[in-house]
């Protein structure tokens, strides 16, 4: 189950990042809701990994839950600003939080696999 979750997280994160980058670089023909859907599915997968690793690593699980909450909040904050005036700092924070969430997903999967193999 852990392998399936981390592979899904990797694919979802990659697609969400690609769609977000396309939007960031000015390809507005793409519906932003597509990026939001893949990002939301990534967050759900991240939380599933956090639940799986919670018995052995509460810190990783807490970080995963926290990043999973912060990521969409920062993303939604960008929606309430006109596209032309969205501060680049808010966009950068969104990308940094997303990359941190991907790293935490990898860490959670690794810890869950170590416990399963022990």
Task: For residue range 17-75, list pLDDT tens digits in order.
Answer: 999 999 888 888 888 899 999 999 999 999 999 999 999 999 999 999 999 999 999 99
pLDDT digits (tens, 9 = 90+) for 60-116: 999 999 999 999 999 999 888 776 666 788 889 999 999 999 999 999 999 988 877
User: Is the Cα dihedral 28, 34, 37, 43 positive or negative?
Assistant: negative
How many whole angstroms separate alpha carbon 5 and alpha carbon 43?
11
CB atoms within 10 A of CB 2: 18
Please give the pLDDT value at position 115. 77
Rounded to 10°, the helix 32-53/88-117 angle is 30
Output helix, strand, coil percentages for the chain, rounded to the nearest 5. Answer: 85, 0, 15
Q: What's the number of CA atoms in the CB half-sphere (13 Å) around residue 77?
A: 14
Which pair of tokens denotes residue 104? 């935490």
Q: Taking the domains of the chain in order of start, what are their residue ranges?
A: 2-117
What single DSSP character describes residue 85? G
Please give the pLDDT value at position 105. 97
How many whole angstroms separate alpha carbon 86 and alpha carbon 51?
34
């Amino acid at each position: 189950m852990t392998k399936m979750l981390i592979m899904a997280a990797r694919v979802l994160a990659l697609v969400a990042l690609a769609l977000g980058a396309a939007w960031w670089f000015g390809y507005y023909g793409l519906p932003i809701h597509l990026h939001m859907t893949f990002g939301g599915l990534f967050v759900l997968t991240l939380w599933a990994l956090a639940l799986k690793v919670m018995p052995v690593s509460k810190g990783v699980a807490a970080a995963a839950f926290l990043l999973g909450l912060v990521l969409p909040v920062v993303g939604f904050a960008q929606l309430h600003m006109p596209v032309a005036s969205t501060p680049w700092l808010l966009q950068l924070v969104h990308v940094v939080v997303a990359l941190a969430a991907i790293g935490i997903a990898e860490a959670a999967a690794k810890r869950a696999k170590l416990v399963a193999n022990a």
